[in-house]
Structure 1
């Protein structure tokens, strides 16, 4: 294929991505009208002008088309005082060429890592370069369908005690082309202590961080810049440990896509241990700041959630399970209930591996 044809194709793809609504307003309304979505409460807030800037940080790697769709959905927001910080993790799919077409908009900034370092590193780079009072961590394949979301959020943040706003999303399973959502059954303001204590149990974590807006100083106080694992759960918890209130909004504001490129197939023991170290750090901050009673029970629950995630998303070897199990025994207070549960999970994995060996 000639260079001319490649450029023409790129130009055509660029225009298509920037001009289309991935889930257009009619489709959105039809989804909302379905009986199972009737309970969704749509927020009505007055649109006002304000000088508060929102920084949207987007790590990206080899998803130039989805990235453009994501940026397009941000540019359509009625609230215009934002910056988009794209951190490219050494893409090889002409991402830089595509993004260069957007840089005439001075709200869009493009950074490129010197070497491939993973999305967590890219999020930290974007955070360090951000200048907004509020922060969104957005994956390159997420996109918004509520054009008033930023305006609504800025109005909610007029309450100076609000640390975090969480909203709901559709999950788009691209292979089946189906949209689903989790009815969080809650729509109100809640104190951080209550939310954090029941995080991922009574109050479920949103699918992604793009539907959450953080007050930046809360993330600074949570020492985000020194995090090793900057993933969804850890970001939420770091934003909560400095206190305040959380606004939980049941309104669906965007779409989280599930496709072959973002499904986790293999999780290593070292990844899980880093995750557990992060939760132990949060536990220590909870104890230090006396956020709530029952911190030991909270840590046990969080370790259990992490362990279940490993079994759900991967097929760990016995060696990996033992490595994780030994770390837990060495680094926790050996809560007997947790140990029993983890022992049962370990037996489950052993039986599963034996079954696979003889099938």
Structure 2
């Protein structure tokens, strides 16, 4: 039985997926299984996976598309067998070849820690780093700022299977922008109730940065969801009321910007 299960959920991103898989196979840490859950892709995803002959790869294809990340993430968890779970989204890739090794070593040395992530970078279509995303590293600093925003980049995390199960796993959310998606932020908040949290000071993950304009409705729905997420944890993490006010203020400040952007795009389309 492998020590760690790496789970990739994918849908119609065959080219990005290949880069994603290569980044896992390039890891210096070897005691893992790689589970690829295909949410019934209609492109060449299955052929892309078959290009790789590594015996640690398991390919699971859904019978129908689930319209979101929640169902395939549940499938990946059920198929996996590792003591630790590592997550990687299909439009991301691991940069640091020792990423898994360092995270597993950290969890082994810190038995009370249940979740460990890393920093991340945004990369443009030319392969140039355009954004560095840094997170607080130690447990106390993370707890002090956890209600302000999600402090774990999803594709960077490794967590303990038993902690995941004791927390009830991902909870499903319905959102018009993402469909039935898995609420990772809420999961991290719940995991923090049963153990320690950490981020390693390395840039472990790269993400292809594409500018996407959210609709006003979507942005407001994200704000409302964030407020719902943090409400139940005001007794466990610091600065709830401050986080509540800042979240609302920032969302309201974005409204005129989003309105102007929408009008600009509409005029451009008319021309």
TM range (shorter): 0.7 to 0.9
**Structure 1 counterpart of 2:142:** 195
TM-score, normalisation: structure 2: 0.77
**Structure 1 counterpart of 2:224:** 276
User: Does structure 1 residue 254 correspond to structure 2 residue 205?
Assistant: yes
In the alignment, the residues of structure 2 paired with residue 250 and residue 257 of structure 1 have an alpha-carbon distance, to the nearest angstrom, of 21
In the alignment, the residues of structure 1 paired with residue 103 and residue 262 of structure 2 have an alpha-carbon distance, to the nearest angstrom, of 51
CA RMSD of aligned residues (A): 3.5
TM-score, normalisation: structure 1: 0.60
The partner residue of 1:62 within 5, 12, 24 is 12
The partner residue of 2:88 within 130, 133, 138 is 138
- Where is the helix percentage greater, Structure 1 or Structure 2? 1
In the alignment, the residues of structure 1 paired with residue 196 and residue 74 of structure 2 have an alpha-carbon distance, to the nearest angstrom, of 24
- Larger RCO: Structure 1 or Structure 2 (Cα < 8 Å, ≥ 6 residues apart)? 2
The partner residue of 1:239 within 184, 188, 191 is 191
Structure 2: 5+ residue runs without aligned partners?
A: 174-180
User: Does structure 1 residue 82 correspond to structure 2 residue 28?
Assistant: no
For the residue of structure 2 that corresponds to 1:115, the secondary structure is: coil
In the alignment, the residues of structure 2 paired with residue 120 and residue 264 of structure 1 have an alpha-carbon distance, to the nearest angstrom, of 22
For the residue of structure 1 that corresponds to 2:158, the secondary structure is: strand
**Structure 2 counterpart of 1:211:** 156
- Structure 1 residues 221 and 298, CA, compared in 2 at 3 Å: closer, same or farther? farther
1:299: how far off? 3.5
Alignment of 1:124-203 (within 5 A): 124-158=74-108, 159-174=110-125, 176-182=126-132, 184=134, 188-191=137-140, 194-199=141-146
- Structure 1 residues 257 and 351, CA, compared in 2 at 3 Å: closer, same or farther? closer
* Native 8 Å contact 1:234 1:278 kept in 2: no
- Where is the strand percentage greater, Structure 1 or Structure 2? 2
1:232: how far off? 5.1
* Native 8 Å contact 1:99 1:110 kept in 2: no
- Structure 1 residues 134 and 294, CA, compared in 2 at 3 Å: closer, same or farther? same
- Structure 1 residues 66 and 282, CA, compared in 2 at 3 Å: closer, same or farther? same
1:125: how far off? 2.6
Larger radius of gyration: 1
Structure 1: 5+ residue runs without aligned partners?
A: 1-50, 308-341
